[in-house]
A and B are shown apart, each in its own frame.
Chain A
Amino acid sequence: MSIQLTKLQLFLLMFVMQTGFVYTSFQNIIIEHGNRDATIQFIIISVIFFLQLLFFERTHKYFVLNSFTKTLYLIYWSLYVTVFVIYITYVLTSWIFPNTPTIVLIAIFLSVCFYASISRPETAVNIGVVLIPMLFLFLVFMFLTIPNLHATNLLPFFYDRQDTWWMGFIYATYAFGGAEVFVVLRKYLVSNDKIPKKSLFLYFSLLTSFYLLSISFSLMYFSLEEIKLIPEPILYILHSVEVTFAKRLDIFFVYIWLSWSLVAIVNYALVMRLVYFEKKRRLPRLQQLIFFAIIGITANFLIKFSVLDFLNNYLVYLNIIFTFILPVLIIFVNKIRGRTVSELEKSSS
């Protein structure tokens, strides 16, 4: 299976995958550890992400996955998608459907994702476009909270809280999970020319601003003590916004975020399809059906607060390994061995 992407499509895919389900939940954990320095910590990590993007762009031709690393990534992405499903179901059951069996909810939204996955690959590539108006709507909702914000809450303290302060940096990396797909998808670009630094910078700025908005709004809206008690600060902010046309903006946002997360799952499934079905395999539809069924059943067993809390605290380490460390290692090893993507393609053809 193969696709052709433009730069815009590549960045759109990355944006959806990098924001996906993380967007509503990661603010409180970074603020909990970084306190009022959270924005600074996040900006520092985002600069590292930008440098990594530049590095990936220079060396992407060396990002060749062998069967071992391929398996590792497939397991990691499957786990990531499972966590998505657990979290989506958790939010839906706690905010909207407390009495509906979780398996029903999972079956419904995973069937839709399965339908998208067995459609032509271009559908999965482009489906993120429909989110663009929703994102604007979300931004409008967010800006309605401006009168209730306290800008002084943003001023950093820079005081030492020993080990917990450093954890702020660690958790800030949550926002950039999924960056590895840049090197995975890079070879599918229509024109294989270099992506200009300007484009990378634009993407980096957009992603960083989008996340920074949520962190700074959460900091400005809540006191530090309050935020420790609130698992989804964005939802709470929207919940308390008072507008004349609607009483509960958060309900609308939950559904915007749901669509967003479903698109992220479809996009992850696309990346997995590209990696797994690089070699021609039998019964691709059946294999995808089995994949979604396993994800759904596993997720259904794991929808517990304790599991989510554990994942929230420790998934970040996997993120760091698979997003920041492993791609760099793979690139270095292949550079030393002299293996490139084009050589691999030649040998396989």
Chain B
Amino acid sequence: MLQTLEMKQEIKRLNKEFLHSADFVVKEIRIGQVEEAILCYYSSLVNKADVEQNLMNLRQLSQLAQENLDSVQNNGKINSNELEKNGNNAIPKQLVKDDSITITTEKYNQQKLVDYVCNGETIIILIQSNQMIRINNADFAHKTPEEPETEQIIRGSHEGFVENFDTNVSLIRKRIKNNKLVVKEVLLGKETKTTAYYFYVEGVVDTEALKTVEKRLSEIELDMFYSIGQLSDQLDDQVWSPFPQLLNTERPDRVVANILEGKIAIMTDLSPTALIGPVTFFSFYQTPDDFNARVLVGTFYRLMRIFSFVSAIFLPAFYIAIVSFHFEVLPLELGNKVKSDINQIPYRPLIEAMIMEITIELIREASVRLPKSIGQTIGIVGGLVIGDAIVSAGLVSNLMVIVVAFTAISSFVVPSVELNTSIRMLRFPFMFLASLFGFFGIVIGTFLLVIHLLNLSSLKRPYFSPIIPFEPKELKKIFLRAPNYKAKKQATSFSPKKDDNT
């Protein structure tokens, strides 16, 4: 009677502790003949059928092997296989449903109980013996490993990460069947207690970069952690730079290729995105397609992508500079055509360019937010209808539409979404500089951009390698896809390692 009263009070207390949450389940159960217990879990985080199954297992275990249950309570963590080995041959095989589920007992602690339940565990509190049994059968919602929409490739693996630790690790381990692949875990967010984990290959990893990652992860002091962007901000060397310093990817093959080069991949349970570092600027221009396609084809498209960087940033600025300052650069016939075209436009070239660029950005943003089917329609409406109407209305010249369309296409060539957005943003200051000073403004802007890129680092490693430090032999790898690709570590210092032989 006393025990029942105590249990009722405890259930009440637990309900209060979990703020009477709708998905919090707490109830009395009986294990074996004598022991009464409290079962609690979040129904949203566990599979109810699994809970019932495990409960049944425990009851039968208790009935069949009371002695073994005692030893479980005393010895701490032990899984169902070990129970079997422990001498109780009477435990029927069907009771051990899943080897991945671990059953642990430990002394009952109210604060720990809250953590465990929030972590998706099912807890059985044995009031009489002041113990609790933890059944780790969390079943967090996540999608299946499908190819990420933002990183589609033509040839190669079509798998993608999900929001689940085990699935993601298995996708990596499937590709690196080696015990030197290390996975480490850290908790982020004092309140949210999010699990973050990082991968690297022992013996290959850049140890200094690894130390930097570990140091920065340990220094994160956040109460609430809810997005990969927060992690990226904490790990970046220069958070105010427009350039991403960690490669974002949802592709396991890309992560594997990078960690085999000595890099580190960092993930969380909240997102299928992996952050890879240290990387160089040119890492963002490589895709798995390069290595799956023919050597010449891979090389050609890599060159095209690098060219797209130049056209995406400079083309509108170049157009503005020519139209506003340097008309004499154009051949006579073209010059006359451009002149007659823009003579009809009431605005300065910068305003003209801004109208078109902002229209393109709005169309892009709208098509991202809308469902796929409507998104495509918006693209057509925006691209064709608005484009045509805006020219007919005399707001923008035909040539400007061509320039802006070419720029937009160029910016979407970049395989990385982060760099793509940075590049799109960077063309605006260049447009302003070009409208103020023509080519002189572009040169000054380029100079600033280059200095910024040379100063930048990713996990304290040179970002613009192999240009800084200058390694002519490595330079060709930026432009060419070599036949037998050999993984190579990134440059580790801004200072050159050894002298060249020239």
Contact = CB atoms under 8 A, between A and B. Distances in A.
A244 B446 CA distance: 27
A126 B469 CA distance: 7
B454 A189 contact: no
B467 A130 contact: yes
Contact of A7 (B440, B450, B469, B499): B499
B108 interface: no
Contacts of B447: 112, 116, 259, 262
Contacts of A120: 455, 494
B498 A191 contact: yes
B475 to A, nearest CB: 9
Nearest to A247: B331
Nearest to B445: A112
Contact of B331 (A109, A122, A189, A245): A245
Contacts of B329: 246-248, 251-252
B451 A116 contact: yes
Nearest to B332: A247
Interface string A162-200: 000000000000000000000000000111010000010
Given A9-B470, A119-B454, A189 B328 contact: no
A6 interface: yes
A340 B61 CA distance: 85
B451 A115 contact: yes
A158 interface: no
B330 A246 contact: yes
A135 interface: no
B438 interface: yes
A123 interface: yes
Contacts of B470: 6, 8-9, 12, 126, 129
A247 B335 contact: yes
B502 interface: yes
A108 B438 CA distance: 13
A127 interface: yes
A127 B335 contact: no
Nearest to B499: A191
A190 B472 contact: no
Interface string B280-300: 000000000000000000000
Interface string B321-332: 000011011111
B498 A123 contact: no
B498 A9 contact: no
A92 interface: yes
B186 interface: no
A9 B496 CA distance: 10
Nearest to A246: B329
Contact of A246 (B331, B451, B496): B331
Interface in B358-405: none
Nearest to B443: A255
Contacts of B468: 122-123, 126, 129
B257 interface: no
A189 B499 CA distance: 8
Interface residues of A, number: 43
Nearest to A109: B444
A122 B494 contact: yes
A123 B502 CA distance: 22
B111 interface: no
A112, A244, A245, A258 — which one has the most chain B CB atoms within 10 A of its CB? A112
B495 interface: yes
Interface in B142-187: none
B18 interface: no
B226 interface: no
A25 B325 CA distance: 25
A4 B331 contact: no
Contact of A202 (B443, B454, B502): B502
Contacts of B499: 6-7, 189-191, 193
Interface string A236-275: 0000000011111001100100110010000000000000
Interface in A1-45: 3-9, 11-12
Contact of B444 (A4, A108, A202, A248): A108
B448 interface: yes
Interface in B418-465: 437-440, 442-444, 446-448, 450-451, 454-455, 462
Contacts of A9: 470, 496
A246 to B, nearest CB: 5
Contacts of B191: none
B444 A123 contact: no
Nearest to A191: B499
Given A129-B467, A259-B447, A262-B447, A123 B496 contact: no
A6 B451 CA distance: 20
B438 A96 contact: yes
Contacts of B498: 6, 190-191
Nearest to A96: B440
Contacts of A123: 451, 454-455, 468
A97 interface: yes
A244 B331 contact: yes
Contact of A8 (B446, B448, B472): B472
B451 A112 contact: yes
Interface in A89-144: 92, 96-97, 105, 108-109, 112, 115-116, 119-120, 122-123, 126-127, 129-130
A129 B451 CA distance: 12
Nearest to B451: A116
B500 interface: yes
B437, B443, B496 — which one has the most chain A CB atoms within 10 A of its CB? B496
Contacts of A193: 499
10 contacts: A5-B496, A6-B469, A6-B496, A109-B444, A115-B451, A119-B454, A126-B454, A126-B470, A193-B499, A262-B443
Interface of B: 325-326, 328-332, 335, 437-440, 442-444, 446-448, 450-451, 454-455, 462, 467-470, 472, 494-496, 498-500, 502
